[in-house]
Amino acid sequence: MSAHIHLTPLHDISAADAAAWHQVVTASMAHDLPGVPTPGPEQIHAQLTKPTLNSHRLTWLATGATGSPVGVAGLRLFTSPGRDHLAELELHVAPAHRRLGTGSLLLSEVVAACLAQDRRSLIVEAAADSPGEAFCEKRNFRQALALNHLILRLDHLDEATVSQVAEAEHPGYRLTGWTGTVPDDLAAAFATAKNAMNDMPVGDLDYGTENWDADRVRAMAQVIADRGDTLLTLAAVHDGGAMAGYTEILLPRGTAPRAQQYDTAVVPAHRGRGLGLWLKTAMVRRLRAQHPGVVEIETDNAEDNVHMLAVNHRLGFRSYRRTREFQLDVSAV
Q: Which residue has the higher pLDDT, 35 or 75?
A: 75
Within a domain: 329: no
| pLDDT of 255 over the 80 cut | no
Q: In whole numbers, what is the pLDDT of the chain averaged over residues?
A: 94
pLDDT tens digits, residue range 61-95? 999 999 999 999 999 999 999 999 999 999 999 99
Within a domain: 187: yes
Alpha carbon 328 to its chain's center = 19
Within a domain: 271: yes
What is the reported pLDDT for 316? 95
What is the reported pLDDT for 2? 57
Within a domain: 234: yes
What is the reported pLDDT for 12? 92
Residues 229 and 136: their CA atoms lie apart, in Å, by: 31
Among residues 99, 119, 139, the one where a domain terminates is: 119
pLDDT tens digits, residue range 23-33? 999 999 999 99
The pLDDT > 90 percentage for the chain reads: 89
Range of the domain at 160: 150-324
The pLDDT > 70 percentage for the chain reads: 99
pLDDT tens digits, residue range 306-332? 999 999 999 999 999 999 999 999 988
- Give yes or no: residues 161 and 297 share one domain: yes
- Give yes or no: residues 256 and 161 share one domain: yes
| pLDDT of 253 over the 90 cut | no
Domain count, the chain: 2
- Give yes or no: residues 96 and 39 share one domain: yes
Q: Which residues pair with 122 in a beta bridge?
A: 87, 328
pTM of the shown model = 0.93
SS3 159: helix
What dihedral do alpha carbons 83, 84, 85, 86 form, nearest 10°? 60
Nearest alpha-carbon partner for 124 in 149, 100, 147: 147
Nearest alpha-carbon partner for 191 in 210, 215, 213: 213
- Give yes or no: residues 102 and 154 share one domain: no
Mean pLDDT across 208-213: 91
- Give yes or no: residues 108 and 167 share one domain: no
Question: Domain with 78 in it: what CATH number?
Answer: 3.40.630.30
3-state DSSP: the chain helix, strand, coil percent, rounded to 5? 40, 30, 30
- Give yes or no: residues 169 and 229 share one domain: yes
What is the reported pLDDT for 4? 87
| pLDDT of 333 over the 80 cut | no
- Give yes or no: residues 187 and 317 share one domain: yes
- Give yes or no: residues 308 and 265 share one domain: yes
What is the reported pLDDT for 3? 57
In terms of Cβ atoms closer than 10 Å to its own Cβ (0-12, 13-18, 19+), residue 247 is buried
- Give yes or no: residues 104 and 166 share one domain: no
